[in-house]
Amino acid sequence: MGELSAVFFGLLSALTWGAGDFCGGLSSKRAHAYTVVLVAEFVGAALLAVLAVLFGERIPEIPLLLWAGVGGIVGAVGLLALYSGLSSGHMGIVAPLSAVIAGVVPITATLLTEGWPTGAQIAGFLVALAAVWLLAGGAGRGISRREVGFATAAGLGFGLYFVIIDQATASGAVFWNLAFARTMGGLVLLAIVLATRRPLLPPRDVLPLNAAAGVLDAGGNLFFALAALAGRLDVAAILSSLYPGTTVLLAWAVLGERLNRPQTVGVAAALLAIVLIAV
């Protein structure tokens, strides 16, 4: 039952993270990426703090908050790199490439700490990584070195975030830890924005979309943490890493970006991976 819950929450994380990345990428086309991530971090932190109060969650111990703070800073760097890459115009390539890297990091960490998953899950992981790659069109055609750099930085940031937040929420305290993580990430970005004299807020017409990105990204954080609590970290991380599927489908539906044949196969492969991991 625990693994099924991990699959359920992991998929919810992929859906909300992918939608948040789509909103963040669009916002970054019309506002500076630093500003967009700054607003998203604090909007998400406020939402999670409100949920912590509503659910009566106790404030966790200092060591867990420290883990959360480090995770928040690493995650903010990853989000900044991703939004910068998404704003370049290749959403359907940058997001999947970052997700491949993000999935490999926690798989490696879990092998060292919890041992090997089942054979079906290993097959599911491989199919999921292939699915993410196919969603990128099968290769990096048309993508610049700069975009590859953004995707790599985002993937490493998210992969390390998966591992660190799993440690921070291991006691079951989720809302406050995630709120603190986003607050720390936001404070670091605030210092950078002030030092570089970038705007603190996006244009007024961009603000609602930017706020939506913050809400959805916080939701992805929450569902990932719940997935990791319910099952293995690698299962939670690899399913959450399917978020580019949502981004690609939204780019197709809203922006008219066409799905090529590899991307279509990638969607089918992602569905197969979910079945294998849930076995």
**pLDDT of 213-255, one tens digit each?**
999 999 999 999 999 888 888 888 888 878 877 877 888 788 7
Closest to 136 in 3D by CA, of 16, 20, 248: 248
Mean pLDDT of 187-213: 92
**Two tokens, residue 161:** 């975030």
Closest to 186 in 3D by CA, of 26, 60, 35, 81: 35
Q: What sign has the CA pseudo-torsion 54, 60, 66, 67?
A: negative
Q: Is 191 left (phi over 0), alpha (psi -120 to 50) or beta?
A: alpha
Q: What sign has the CA pseudo-torsion 192, 197, 200, 204?
A: negative
Mean pLDDT of 7-35: 89
What residues contact residue 277 under an 8 Å CB cut-off, 6+ apart? 7, 120, 121, 124, 125, 128, 235, 238, 239
**pLDDT of 132-174, one tens digit each?**
777 655 544 555 677 778 888 888 998 898 899 988 887 778 9
What is the model's pTM?
Answer: 0.83
**Two tokens, residue 192:** 């950078």
**pLDDT of 46-95, one tens digit each?**
999 999 999 999 988 889 999 999 999 998 888 788 777 766 656 656 76
